Structure 1
């Protein structure tokens, strides 16, 4: 029940991030995305918001994003090396482990994250994945990986009225990477990483359309 409560709470939290415009500061723009940040209320770091439009229906975009073992995300997202299911709580709530590769020219060592994830569908046709860190007895910290902690984060795919083959994608990252990383490394990593995320997502959706 505790896992379910955390999952439902993070769903509400992300919906709040999507609708609350206060305090965001733009830190990166590209053809694919506008990345903004503001101080996190969850931990001593920042929450980052990405906003972009991807060519593809919400169903196709979601196919590339959905958090499932053997899904497409490990194939196109350079920040996801492995993704495994630890426990299925309900049909729409699961506990998963994500492994990330080293980053920032090796300055950031491989990480692993254990999260409860809620998949939520809205009346307007939007679909979201919502995640936050949990402790799970089946996955204690492991040698070779720094255990990181995701605070409420995820992606929301929103249909665009009159544009059935375009999808507005919101993404939220607020991650404690753990370890003794300089703040400057973390602050420069996320905006660039999110811009790459949108670029690679667009390519993945396009290749899916061409199948």
Structure 2
């Protein structure tokens, strides 16, 4: 990405237990991140990018078009902001304080690997539009040996009850998430977004943050 830009974004993806929410909070609270010259930040957690569909999912009232409407609404707003900035001479004049940074926890990749009715072809146009908005992707993974602890044992009773839909034993549940992580990695390879993959089983929270900020260094 050119250093002369109006908008720049980062998606944080990964199956549950990989540390997405921790990384999201770490970025927004990082003194290094908050020293950027442009104060504008649009930061959307998974509640807004995917989980807001949970009630429709329970009622079996979802379709590719409904998923697409949610994703499109967020991308369309970012495109509108960018178009307005493109109409101004600020970038050409070397200004930076008008820049827009956006941070998304989960996005179109989650919609494909989580929902059985979704395919990459349904979200590929979203991926292409995000590429035009200088979006990058940080994919968090964990070792399969950590699945049981991070996904099952470290969670509360309500979550463990939810997990029973994926299997009656810890091994069955772990196998489900192993398939999800593999699918997510495969989806990221199809994306046009510049991508970094970080194994949080092997990195401390501070190391992950440093890697992410270095990857998103143009901000």
Q: Same fold (TM over 0.5)?
A: no
Q: Which has the higher contact order (CA 8 A, sep 6+)?
A: 2
Q: Hey, which of these two has a bigger chunk of strand by percent?
A: 1
Larger radius of gyration: 2
* TM-score, normalised by the number of residues in structure 2: 0.26
Q: Hey, which of these two has a bigger chunk of helix by percent?
A: 2
* TM-score, normalised by the number of residues in structure 1: 0.26
